[in-house]
Amino acid sequence: MTLPTTLAGWLAHCEHLHTKTIDMTLDRLVAVRDRLGLRFDVPVISVAGTNGKGSSCAMLEAIALQAGYRTGLYIKPHLVHFEERCRLNGEMASADSLLPHFAAVEAARQDTPLTWFEFTTLVIMRALSMAPLDLVILEVGMGGRLDAVNAVDADCALITSIALDHTEFLGHDREAIGFEKAGIMRPGSPVVVSDPQPPAVLQARADALGADLRQLGRDFNFQGDKQQWGWRGRSQRFNSLAYPALRGANQLLNAAGVLAVFEALREQLPVNAQAVRNGLAMVELPGRFQIVPGQPALVLDVAHNPQSVAALALNLDQMGFYPQTHAVFGAMHDKDLAALLPHLAPLVDHWHLTDLATPRAATAAQLADAVRRACGARPITTTLHGDPESALRAAAAAADPADRIVVFGSFYTVGGVLKNGLPRLAARHLG
């Protein structure tokens, strides 16, 4: 068989190596990991949770870089380019640099079936393991216990907020989902939990393993006013901190967990207050309550489950008054639309529903039906579009300069409006 020679070719190749899109087992991946000889000689942080993983990973990276550490990050999913998933010292890896790792995984795979996600996870982890780094940060996928990232033993685990999502794979209540997230814990190692109301299973699992669980509200906490905030852990304090550059009411929860991770690893990776301040001030992560300058106001957010959409609604409500709000929305068909849409129903006047380029997506027509049910008698308009960029163009054409446009839902939705670049998307002449 002739092997691919381009990144696009390899990604297409990976789509046909398993009969399933998701296979919740680890034994196949572990076997390939061992054939690759994949291991890390530097501290590894794994990050699991329903919401807040990406923001927490970005903060971990930003603070570590400001502390002078060479940092590798595996973050997902990507918005536009696959290479976004692999970051070395704050920069996206090049496509060419990843090609040898695709070939190495293919050789080690032999006849073992791997899903697209499993194959590409091994590719990126191998790239990170062979780079000259001081720290590796790995974002777990939808679960934890059986996620591909869990083939690596982390020196510290971070578990962010836990909510109902991917219930067909992870369970139908927070305790069941928490059990899956707890799978990233390791005996005797620290685990930080930044969920303010964690499922009881997290503490129970930590006790059973002898893991050092550090819980928000007990082992670390934060407080603040409109100007600044402070953090207190078991043995460290950071005072007079500016708010993180990432917007949103939930970002202090994420930042507090991140600082608890650095406290847990302070002997291996000490960071000072200036690194914390600079890192939080400079952190960037597209698509997380991202406000794009211009008129009308443009907000991008990958909120796609009830908890994250509730946070988006709170953040939008705190933005101030806008005469009309226009929403561009696309989502997967397995999302709990009946639970998430009511959070935004009182705030949105005009809905632009879009198809997405994946078989998992709900159609624009299905989304429109769900929106109308959620809004009830409230007067709204709904229009259907074939792709997110067309939906955004229509929203911009309909909006007045003083209005607001919110693009939310799947990563495919936000990525669909980002793929041709932000500058012209921010401009009024979109319409």
Averaged confidence pLDDT in the chain: 92
Question: What residues contact 190, with CB distance under 8 A and at least 6 apart?
Answer: 155, 156, 157, 211, 212, 213, 214, 261, 264, 265
pLDDT reported for residue 169: 61
pLDDT reported for residue 329: 97
Residue 297 pLDDT class (50, 70, 90 cuts): very high
Tell whether the model's pLDDT for residue 225 goes beyond 90: no
Q: At what angle do helices 116-129 and 95-109 cross, to 10 degrees?
A: 110
The residues that bridge with 51 in the sheet, in sequence order, are 161
User: Over the stretch 153-188, which tens digit does the pLDDT of each residue have?
Assistant: 999 999 998 876 655 666 668 888 898 899 999 999
Cα separation of 286 and 128, whole Å? 22
Segment 405-424 shows an average pLDDT of 84
**Who wins on pLDDT, 42 or 145?**
42
pTM of this structure? 0.89
3-state secondary structure of 60: helix
Tell whether domain 7-282 is in CATH 3.20.20.70.
no
pLDDT reported for residue 94: 97
Fold equal for 7-282 and 290-430 = no
Domain assignments of the chain as residue spans, ordered by start: 7-282, 290-430
Tell whether domain 290-430 is in CATH 3.90.190.20.
yes
Segment 281-295 shows an average pLDDT of 91
Alpha-carbon radius of gyration of the chain: 21
Give yes or no for a contact between 47 and 152, defined as CB atoms under 8 angstroms apart: no
pLDDT reported for residue 197: 92
Residue 250 pLDDT class (50, 70, 90 cuts): confident
Tell whether the model's pLDDT for residue 428 goes beyond 60: no
